[in-house]
Amino acid sequence: MINGILFCSLILLNLSILATVYRLVKGPSASDRIQALDVLGINLISGVAIFSVLLRNTAFFEVILLIGILSFIGTIAYARYIERGVVIERKQSD
C-alpha cells in the first residue's frame, strides 16, 4: 500500500518538475525564472527524499543536504546577478 502511494507521489512530482522546467525556460520575467529555479531545487529534494523512503535507505540524506545548499546558493547568485549585473562585487582600487 505504502509503495503504491510513494510511486504515485513520484509520478506527480515528476509532472511538477516538468511544469517548473517549462516555467524556467518560458518565464515571462527574470523573477519568475528565479522562483522556478528555487522550486526546482525543492522538488528535487522532495524526489530524493521520497526515493530514499522507498528504498528504506538513509544514504541519500547527504545528497538532500547538498542539493539544498547548492539550490540556495544558486538562487541567491542568480538573483544578485539580475539585480546588480554581477554576482561578486569587487572594490575598484585607484
Q: With contact defined as beta carbons under 8 Å apart, do 50 and 6 qualify?
A: yes
pLDDT at site 9: 95
pLDDT at site 83: 81
Q: Which three cell numbers stand for residue 76?
A: 541567491
Residues 6+ apart with CB under 8 A from 93: none
H-run or E-run covering 12: helix 2-26
Please tell me the pTM assigned to this model.
0.82
Residues 46-86 have pLDDT tens digits of: 999 999 999 999 999 999 999 999 999 988 888 888 888 77
Flag whether pLDDT at 12 surpasses 60: yes
